[in-house]
């Protein structure tokens, strides 16, 4: 039986991208290949917020106790090894039991499954089929993988997902939040059009760039050209930076205006105004 290290498993409303507003079970896996310490910081500088939190790790017994951050990755505890003990390694059966408890009718009706992270395609591709082929999961119809777009699908997993969508009522989406230089990650590590085009062979795939400044928007447009040159045909969203409301509300309107100007789609972060982006939302 497969096991997956789960950072969070919760039921909420999808706040971003194509399925904004859809009630969804979020399965957040542990581990990421990036740190994204540059978010919310002046170019070239790195956030120290999670390090300050990690200095007091003994005070935090569960995710909900952890402080929210206004700079760096807002889900830092889902990959920083110092927080790993907050993320249990769960069997498929244990995950299913938790999902049952979360769903309002104790079964899948029209809810969506969001597999997120961290970076969910980093280490768990072999485990997901075990979860998805479980009898309880047969009524599930829509899955979104929220990924940073740097992890190629293994041939086995690609075949599995392709077969999963043989049923006409099923759909897979890849929500690709490719990281721009504002994240602090290097362009050559983060912009991987060949990999995103591979996702496109399997499911409905879109790009979602997190932006704050004019420079970020310029970078998003440049990255879009790079993806298009490789054959990417999906939609492109801009989403305001901001894991906390004070930061988010500073630039959401500007981002919407930039989307109108450049013919791109706007993605909100509904979890910020609705739920203050608390853990488990
Ligand atoms: S890729 Fe996503 S989860 Fe990973 S560090 Fe960056 S923002 Fe956080």
Cβ-in-10-Å burial (0-12, 13-18, 19+) of 166 comes to exposed
**Ligand 1 near 79 CB (within 6 A):** yes
pLDDT, the chain, mean: 93
Asked if 249 and 218 count as a contact pair (C-beta separation under 8 A), the reply is no
Alpha carbon of 50 to ligand 1 centroid (Å): 13
11-40 average pLDDT score? 95
**Ligand 1 near 35 CB (within 6 A):** yes
Whether residue 273 is predicted with pLDDT greater than 90 in this model: the reply is: no
**Three-point CA angle 205, 211, 217, nearest 5°:** 90
Contacts 24+ apart (CB under 8 A), 63-66: 63/7, 63/8, 63/279, 63/280, 64/278, 64/279, 64/280, 66/279
**Ligand 1 near 232 CB (within 6 A):** no
Beta strands in the chain (DSSP E): 3-13, 23-29, 89-91, 112-116, 142-147, 171-176, 204-211, 236-240, 265-266
- Kind of pairing, strands 236-240 and 204-211? parallel
pTM listed for this prediction: 0.95
Given this model, what pLDDT does residue 243 score? 61
8-27 average pLDDT score? 95
208-224 average pLDDT score? 94
- 258: tokens are 């930039």
What is the distance between the alpha carbons of residues 22 and 113, in angstroms, rounded to a whole number?
Answer: 10
Residue 26: strand pairing partners: 10, 114
62-82 average pLDDT score? 92
pLDDT tens-digit profile of 140-173? 999 999 999 999 999 999 999 999 999 999 999 9
Q: Which residue has the higher pLDDT, 271 or 99?
A: 99
**Ligand 1 near 32 CB (within 6 A):** yes
220-238 average pLDDT score? 98
What is the length of the chain?
Answer: 281
Give 62-103 as a DSSP string: SGGGSPP-SSS-TTGGGT-GGGGGGS-EEEHHHHHHHHHHHS
Given this model, what pLDDT does residue 264 score? 97
What is the distance between the alpha carbons of residues 7 and 64, in angstroms, rounded to a whole number?
Answer: 11
Whether residue 186 is predicted with pLDDT greater than 80 in this model: the reply is: yes
Q: Which residue has the higher pLDDT, 92 or 270?
A: 92
Given this model, what pLDDT does residue 275 score? 79
The pLDDT confidence band at residue 130, using thresholds 50, 70 and 90, is very high
Given this model, what pLDDT does residue 248 score? 66
51-74 average pLDDT score? 90
Whether residue 250 is predicted with pLDDT greater than 80 in this model: the reply is: no
Alpha carbon of 152 to ligand 1 centroid (Å): 16
Given this model, what pLDDT does residue 244 score? 63
Cβ-in-10-Å burial (0-12, 13-18, 19+) of 152 comes to middle
pLDDT tens-digit profile of 80-128? 999 999 999 999 999 999 999 999 999 999 999 999 999 999 999 999 9
Given this model, what pLDDT does residue 40 score? 86
Given this model, what pLDDT does residue 64 score? 84
Given this model, what pLDDT does residue 32 score? 98
* Three-state SS letters, 260-278: HHHCCEECCCCHHHHHCCC
Query: 89-98, 211-220, 272-281 — which one is most confidently predicted on average?
Result: 89-98
Ligand 1 closest atom vs CA 148: 1
Residue located nearest, by CA, to atom 5 of ligand 1: 35
Given this model, what pLDDT does residue 61 score? 87
Q: Which residue has the higher pLDDT, 219 or 212?
A: 219
What is the distance between the alpha carbons of residues 33 and 88, in angstroms, rounded to a whole number?
Answer: 19
b/e string for 55-72 if b means 16 or more Cβ within 10 A?
eeeeebeebeebebbbbb
């Amino acid at each position: 039986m497969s096991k997956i290290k789960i950072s969070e498993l919760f039921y909420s409303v999808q706040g971003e991208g194509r399925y904004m507003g859809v009630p969804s079970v979020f399965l957040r896996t542990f581990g990421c290949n990036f740190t994204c310490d540059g978010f919310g910081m002046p170019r070239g500088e790195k956030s120290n917020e999670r390090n300050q939190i990690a200095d007091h790790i003994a005070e935090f017994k569960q995710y909900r106790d952890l402080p929210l951050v206004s700079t760096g990755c807002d889900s830092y505890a889902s990959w920083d090894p110092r927080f790993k003990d907050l993320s249990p390694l769960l069997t498929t059966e244990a995950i299913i039991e938790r999902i049952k408890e979360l769903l309002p009718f104790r079964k899948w009706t029209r809810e969506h499954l969001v597999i997120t992270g961290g970076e969910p395609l980093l280490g768990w591709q072999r485990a997901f089929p075990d979860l998805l082929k479980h009898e309880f999961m047969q009524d599930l119809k829509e899955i979104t993988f929220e990924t940073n777009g740097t992890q190629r699908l293994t041939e086995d997993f690609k075949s599995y997902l392709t077969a999963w969508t043989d049923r006409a009522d099923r759909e897979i989406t890849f929500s690709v939040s490719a990281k721009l230089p504002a994240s602090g990650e290097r362009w050559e590590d983060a912009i991987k059009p060949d990999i995103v085009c591979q996702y496109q062979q399997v499911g409905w795939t879109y790009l979602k760039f997190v932006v704050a400044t004019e420079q970020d928007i310029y970078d998003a447009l440049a990255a879009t050209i790079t993806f298009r040159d490789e054959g990417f045909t999906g939609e492109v969203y801009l989403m305001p930076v901001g894991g906390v409301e004070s930061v988010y509300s500073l630039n959401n309107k500007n981002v919407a205006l930039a989307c109108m100007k450049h013919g791109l789609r706007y993605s909100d972060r509904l979890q910020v105004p609705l739920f203050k982006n608390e853990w488990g939302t």
